[in-house]
Amino acid sequence: MKNVSRRDFLKTGAAAAAATVALPLLSRAWYALPGAEEGGYFEREFGITDELCRKILADALARGGDFADLYFEHTISNYLILEDGKVSRAYSDVALGAGIRTVKGDQVGYGFTQELGEKPMLAAAATAATIASGSGPAVNGPFTPLKLADYYPLRTLFSDVPLESKLPLVQKVNSRCFGLSPLVTKVTVQLHDQQKRFLVVTSDGVKAEDLQPRSYLAATVVAEKDGKRERAFWNFGGRRDYSFYTPAIVEEIARKAVDRTLILFEAIQPPAGEMPVVLGPGVTGVLLHEAIGHGMEADFNRKKISTYCTMIGQKVAEPFVTIVDDGTVPNLLGSINVDDEGTPGQRTILVDKGILTSYLHDRISAKAYGIKPTGNGRRQSYQHYPIPRMRNTYLEAGPATPEDVVKAAGKGIYVQDVSNGQVKIGEGDFAFFVSQGRMIEGGKLGAPIKDVNIMGNGPKMLANTIMVADDFEFNMGGTGACGKDGQAAPCGMGQPTCLIKSLTVGGTRG
């Protein structure tokens, strides 16, 4: 192991990061991670050998656990925020540590440490082992490195890009937003990039290493007109490298943010009550994620919390409805080469032509159901143990046209974007704020709407999806994170235009 303490390692990184902000003429960023194709990172940098891993795993299983795994992480996150035409914040975060998990049945013992030395890691293993009592299995065999697909190939790491090259991105978005309308009074632009290195080593011989990038470029626009003020937001990102942020992307972020702000000056409140709701393509897939997807995570079903816990093989939607959770879509926010338990990324069909066919499994739930894991064991960081989490969850395209869907709605609302959602996982009851949308009157799109909530029940919404269009889109944003059990995980979503027979709209009365 290199002769450098964690404290010195992080101190050097933080000091160099500050120097990068203060001295924009530096030729490169403060620290560069090697490319994803380079294996053995944790052994080279921190001395994490197979022999050491076997020793830690043996201690984790010393009291009779069924299974144990090790999770090593080194993550670098950078933030650059431009406000009022000036850089208001620029900073870096570094996360370095290891988590040790012992599993006994469906019980989990977990310990973690910020020190990648043998003594603190053995102490964390001893903590994890307390879940069991008895004698544990031996850990003698070799570890087999997994050969993984690459769903986010990297040409240029953000950590290789100096600050003077990042600044023009946020400055161009800022100036373009102001240039698009004299009504724009304030613009905040944020550029975030992250490189997350991790290594998973398991007691049954799996060894998997990955470099997961994440980035986004976002703009928040404030405009004023006739004494009224409106605000809107747009971003692009995902598991992207620096080359993604072209002049065309900069232009589209600015235009979307400005257009979404200005249209709110024309917006009205719809009437309240039960009515047909059309969900537009792309970002409205967050309703699918929250109101339906969580109910299909296997831990909620294993514990009999979810409505879907007894519905495998049963009809839950019309035959034109197919729902997928997919970790293999290139460059999307929820894509993974491998999950945080060492299971390769894969595509899982949850609802196949209206029939519920699968849940989303980690290793614990898969063992309980007697099936293979689906690659959904995910965690926020080394300080957390993995649980079933979504990746990119989406509704596939259907046979109708978007125009036919809107026409069939007759009178209702069209939802373009939602935010601030609340969901009860067990029952599936949800409420979401509609941040962008339109009235539907006479089967045609009408006035823009604002200040409205939609409420309903996820399983009922799925059953009441009566038309699905052929205009499927993925959400191309990079800012979203899904919360569960105190952990946040990046997830993607998507869907085509679809018609929900009836939802409760909380607008105006009378």
Torsion on CA atoms 125, 131, 134, 135, rounded to nearest 10: -30
Of 85-94, 259-268, 317-326, 353-362, the range with the lowest mean pLDDT is: 85-94
pLDDT tens per residue across span 140-155: 778 999 999 999 998 8
> For position 480, what pLDDT does the model report?
84
Whether 272 contacts 479, CB under 8 Å: no
pLDDT tier at 19 (50, 70, 90 boundaries)? very low
Whether 391 contacts 492, CB under 8 Å: yes
Higher pLDDT among residues 480 and 78, named by residue: 78
CA-only gyration radius of the chain, Å: 24
pLDDT tens per residue across span 402-428: 999 999 999 999 999 998 788 888 888
> For position 25, what pLDDT does the model report?
27
What is the three-class DSSP state of 310? Answer: helix
**Euclidean distance between CA atoms 274 and 427, whole angstroms:** 19
Residue 157 has pLDDT above 50, yes or no: yes
Tokens 């035409």, residue located: 85
pLDDT tens per residue across span 114-129: 999 999 999 999 999 9
Give exposure, 245-269, as e/b (b: 16+ Cβ within 10 Å): beeebbeebbebbbebbbbbbebbe
> For position 10, what pLDDT does the model report?
52
Give percent above pLDDT 70 in the chain. Answer: 92
pLDDT tier at 508 (50, 70, 90 boundaries)? low
> In Å, how far are 54, 105, 222, 364, 469 from 108, measured between CA atoms?
19, 8, 47, 9, 44
> For position 430, what pLDDT does the model report?
93
Whether 39 contacts 107, CB under 8 Å: no
Give exposure, 451-461, as e/b (b: 16+ Cβ within 10 Å): ebbbebbbbbb
Residue 105 has pLDDT above 60, yes or no: yes
Residue 22 has pLDDT above 80, yes or no: no
pLDDT tens per residue across span 43-53: 999 999 999 99
Domains and CATH numbers, the chain: 6-263 (3.30.2290.10), 273-506 (no CATH)
Give percent above pLDDT 90 in the chain. Answer: 83
Whether 95 contacts 75, CB under 8 Å: yes
Residue 1 has pLDDT above 50, yes or no: no
Q: Which two tokens stand for residue 1?
A: 């192991």
> For position 134, what pLDDT does the model report?
72
Whether 211 contacts 197, CB under 8 Å: yes
pTM over 0.95: no
> For position 38, what pLDDT does the model report?
59
The whole-number average pLDDT for the span 319-342 is 98
β 323-326/347-352 pair status: antiparallel
pLDDT tier at 507 (50, 70, 90 boundaries)? low
Question: Chain-wide mean pLDDT for the chain?
Answer: 91
**Euclidean distance between CA atoms 382 and 253, whole angstroms:** 33
pLDDT tens per residue across span 256-300: 999 999 999 999 999 999 999 999 999 999 999 999 999 999 999
pLDDT tens per residue across span 161-185: 888 889 999 999 999 999 999 999 9
Whether 349 contacts 393, CB under 8 Å: no
> For position 297, what pLDDT does the model report?
97
pLDDT tens per residue across span 55-103: 999 999 999 999 999 999 999 999 999 998 999 999 999 999 999 999 9
pLDDT tens per residue across span 229-256: 999 999 999 999 999 999 999 999 999 9
